[in-house]
Structure 1
């Protein structure tokens, strides 16, 4: 009776440690020639190849590397169409669904616009304004300050 009790507890323990939390589902990873259950990010981080079916993972691990279908890659906040291998090669996150890729990129990498402002220090205000307008910018508020520069010069 004690052996049966220990066996049941062992099985329950294995079940609970191998059951992912909600939102952390695992699929199949070919890692160092072995097929194991892992989350996609961990599989890729450890240098494995991630699959949604065990059969795909086993074929890949046995050297029958199937042509991976095209999908969508989120890399540095940008989404583009590519293969799973290419996406993972550049350390991106691969999705078969465009909406999922866009959602992930939006959540993980909020869009940040970078504005490059030309250096107009030392120029006259009208020259500075002309340069700024050429690149799509405009002068906001101006403040007069005392300096050694000629009056009307940007400091």
Structure 2
């Protein structure tokens, strides 16, 4: 479902603006409307933008409207609130502090991971990321992607198969 929303956002909103959507998360803003927090990169002059997009329907057609926009270069800090608890709340510090509630803790981490990665790729500035478990933020972490999960699973299976083989071998 989320990949369909991402495709739709890319096609209807970001592509016409000359941008490539890298990540989006659903955020809680109001009881009646759906909002997404998006990270995109402009194609002409690589510039990373963070935008809040309102999603609405007119008859059967899905529509998106840019509600607010910031630049990653202006982001001073992203605060995950509490690293020790599974919570979807975080703050982004620009000139003003914006408080968000993501759809889930996992989506909050995915968003922070993308910001960190794009900051490293395009800006190489000191982006403060606080109150997150940094193990899940760093892109080189074994746990940061499905590939890491597959690698861990593969190692576990390898060790389990070795144990099984050893247990089936006759003792001299």
Higher normalized strand content (fraction of residues): 2
What is the TM-score normalised by the length of structure 2?
0.28
Which structure would you say has the larger Rg?
A: 1
What is the TM-score normalised by the length of structure 1?
0.30
